[in-house]
């Protein structure tokens, strides 16, 4: 590809009129070529994709957060008019409607490219259990890609789409992210609707996201999440007061040394220790925790009722067409028949006890960090020992949905053989945004250009003057529990004025009139609880007020604006590029 596919870069080019979505689609289809990595089960034709592009022709790119952004869909998630196979051609059906999450993304301007390969019926963490071919690692095709969302991850890693949808029941949205150097979001169960998704374990399933960076992941999550009244497992998103991802100090848990497993891979162990040190450098206070409750919960996933739940999901098809199912998948699901209803209740009782033990651990820490997977395997190794090695891959992932956690998989360096290593940041449910903030801090120092509001009950506001960090009125934000989200700039069509009446001086920021030259002005974006926003706005003196500010990346947030009449006798200070630079000039 001759340009980057990350969302911020594409949006910038769309907004500038330098690129059209049809150009991107044509380039992507040419780039995919012969699909030697076995990424795709069904690629849409140019004409099939064109109808999604045509639907955008009368839309303003600035009004759609994912305008023209290409994405891939794991083939157990419905795209209307395209077969859903779940990795089994004999099982395929033709949905008439999009899955809820797909509909949300398309309504926001995203363009589907096709359906991706997976471990059949989302049963596996390695990417080899598919009749459509073994999906190969993006960095070395002799190695596994991770599963079950294998094709979804490799499509992003190979630069064939900007982001993709997977699913995650036992680690399928995190292991492929680690093996292909991506950010993988396993959201709180129920944040993303699973209506229109072929279930693996319906009570545990999540729709997951793969992205190139945390900014993109945040943007997609903001669009994809939302309560679905028609999904029995959908949940309202909740707001928590403490955002450890933005805090200067926080407590993070690390499993005891004797509980860490790298399965004979010393390089992975060394990279994990570097990640722990990076967490400490970011303000984290390391707390060694007992990981045993989490490991015990992980073992329940394939020992008790949740294997039976996999059988329940496809029971009619499994009983009628067992020969159509991949041998390893068939062996795993067939094992469910030995469990009774009494076994199921026994497993649920054990899980409830482990939840209580895990809660004691969470009481000591804000979040936890583990390897995403302790090691990676060659494809031939996995095929020779498919169940045991797959179990190793789930050591750090299988407990997550059973214990109702949110998680973000984060790239954490490369081994000497050129293969990526990844860590996972995790916390109790509804801590998804703090986890993304922490991931951003680790990957890019927290300079996440996406500042779009996500959590209900939270409002983000751009400030350009005395409310900036370290300046006299910043306390009006911090005293209300506000957190700094991003230091960025406005779009390049604003003017900045020093209003008369100083010192103390006050800035006035206005949109440049048509035909008038403007500039990008330095701003900070702060987030606060909606319940605090009213009192904050009430304290803003005329002629200043709160309006809509366009940021450099195309996002719109609430921000300080000035009434036009007030700039008649004001000093034009646009050339300084920001209030701090202007104040510095006054001190000389």
**In 19-58, alpha helices (H):** 21-32, 46-54
**Burial class of residue 473, CB neighbours in 10 A (0-12, 13-18, 19+):** middle
Residue from 172, 275, 282, 490 carrying the catalytic annotation: 172
Q: Are 440 and 245 in contact (CB under 8 A)?
A: yes
- Tokens (6 digits) for 42: 């069904």
Residue from 130, 145, 148, 152 carrying the catalytic annotation: 148
Q: Is residue 148 annotated as part of the catalytic site, yes or no?
A: yes
192 vs 206: CA distance, rounded Å = 7
Q: What are phi and psi of 322, to 5 degrees?
A: -60, -30
Of the CA atoms within 13 Å of residue 257, those in its CB half-sphere come to: 2
544 vs 541: CA distance, rounded Å = 6
- Tokens (6 digits) for 474: 């910043």
Q: Are 219 and 210 in contact (CB under 8 A)?
A: no
Q: Is residue 172 annotated as part of the catalytic site, yes or no?
A: yes
SS (H, E, C) 410-447: EEEEECCCCCEEEEEEEEECCCHHHHHHHHHHHHHCCC
Q: Are 244 and 434 in contact (CB under 8 A)?
A: yes
- C-alpha closest to that of 132 among 209, 29, 35, 30: 35
CB count within 10 Å of CB 141 equals 15
Q: Is residue 542 annotated as part of the catalytic site, yes or no?
A: no
557 vs 548: CA distance, rounded Å = 6
- Tokens (6 digits) for 24: 């991107």
Which is it for strands 494-499 and 571-572: parallel, antiparallel or unpaired? antiparallel
Cβ-proximal residues to 193 (8 Å cutoff; 6+ apart), any chain: 99, 100, 101, 207, 226, 228, 231, 234
Of the CA atoms within 13 Å of residue 421, those in its CB half-sphere come to: 22
CA angle 381, 384, 389 (to 5 degrees): 65
- Tokens (6 digits) for 297: 């919960």
Task: Give strand pairing partners of 252.
Answer: 286, 367
- Tokens (6 digits) for 412: 């954490």
Strand ranges (E), 98-249 = 111-116, 163-168, 183-186, 206-211
Sheet with strand 506-511: strands edge to edge? 506-511, 494-499, 571-572
Q: List, by residue number, the catalytic residues.
A: 74, 148, 172
């Amino acid at each position: 590809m001759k340009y980057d596919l990350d969302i911020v870069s594409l949006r910038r080019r769309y907004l500038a009129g330098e690129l059209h979505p049809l150009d991107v689609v044509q380039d992507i289809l040419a780039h995919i070529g012969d699909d030697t990595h076995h990424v795709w089960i069904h690629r849409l034709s140019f004409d099939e994709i064109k109808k999604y592009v045509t639907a955008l022709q009368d839309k303003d790119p600035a009004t759609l957060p994912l305008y023209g952004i290409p994405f891939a869909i794991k083939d157990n998630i419905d795209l209307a008019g395209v077969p859903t196979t779940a990795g089994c051609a004999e099982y395929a059906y033709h949905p008439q409607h999009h899955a809820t999450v797909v509909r949300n993304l398309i309504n926001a301007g995203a363009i589907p490219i096709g359906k991706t390969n997976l471990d059949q019926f989302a049963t596996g963490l390695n990417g080899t259990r598919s009749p459509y071919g073994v999906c190969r690692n993006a960095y070395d095709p002799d190695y596994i890609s991770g599963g079950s969302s294998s094709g979804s991850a490799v499509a992003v890693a190979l630069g064939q789409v900007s982001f993709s949808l997977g699913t995650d029941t036992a680690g399928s949205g995190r292991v492929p992210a680690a093996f292909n150097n991506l950010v993988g979001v396993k959201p709180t169960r129920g944040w993303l609707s699973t209506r229109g998704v072929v279930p693996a374990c319906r009570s545990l399933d999540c729709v997951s996201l793969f992205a190139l960076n945390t900014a993109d992941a945040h943007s997609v999550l903001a669009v994809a999440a939302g309560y679905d009244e028609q999904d029995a497992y959908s949940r309202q998103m909740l707001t928590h007061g403490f955002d450890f991802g933005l805090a200067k100090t926080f407590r993070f848990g690390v499993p005891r040394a004797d509980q860490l497993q790298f399965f004979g891979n010393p390089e992975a162990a060394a990279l994990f220790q570097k990640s722990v040190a990076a967490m400490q450098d970011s303000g984290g206070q390391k707390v060694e925790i007992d990981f045993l409750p989490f490991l015990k919960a992980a073992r329940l996933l394939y020992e008790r009722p949740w294997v039976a739940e996999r059988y329940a999901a496809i029971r009619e098809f499994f009983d009628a067409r067992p020969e159509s199912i991949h041998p390893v998948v068939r062996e795993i699901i067939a094992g469910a028949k030995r469990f009774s209803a009494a076994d199921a209740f026994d497993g649920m009782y054990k899980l409830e006890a482990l939840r209580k033990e895990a809660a004691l651990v969470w009481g000591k820490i804000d979040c936890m960090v583990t390897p995403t997977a302790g090691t990676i395997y060659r494809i031939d190794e996995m095929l020779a020992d498919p169940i045991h090695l797959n179990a190793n891959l789930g050591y750090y992932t299988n407990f997550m949905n059973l214990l109702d956690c949110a998680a973000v998989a984060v790239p954490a360096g490369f081994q000497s053989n050129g293969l990526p290593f990844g860590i996972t940041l995790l916390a109790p449910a509804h801590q998804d945004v703090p986890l993304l903030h922490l991931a951003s801090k680790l990957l890019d120092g927290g300079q996440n250009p996406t500042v779009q509001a996500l959590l209900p009950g939270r409002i983000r506001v751009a400030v350009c003057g005395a409310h900036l960090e370290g300046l006299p009125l910043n306390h009006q934000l911090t005293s209300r529990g506000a957190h700094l989200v991003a230091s960025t700039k406005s779009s390049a069509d604003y003017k900045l004025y020093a209003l008369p009446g100083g010192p103390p001086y006050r800035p006035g920021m206005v949109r440049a009139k048509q035909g008038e030259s403007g500039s990008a002005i330095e701003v900070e974006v702060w987030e606060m609880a909606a319940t605090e926003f009213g009192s904050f706005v009430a304290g803003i003196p005329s002629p200043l007020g709160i309006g809509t500010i366009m940021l450099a990346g195309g996002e719109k947030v609430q921000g300080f604006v000035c009434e036009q009449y007030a700039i008649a006798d004001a000093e034009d200070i646009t050339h300084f590029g920001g209030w701090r630079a202007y104040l510095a000039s006054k001190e000389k």
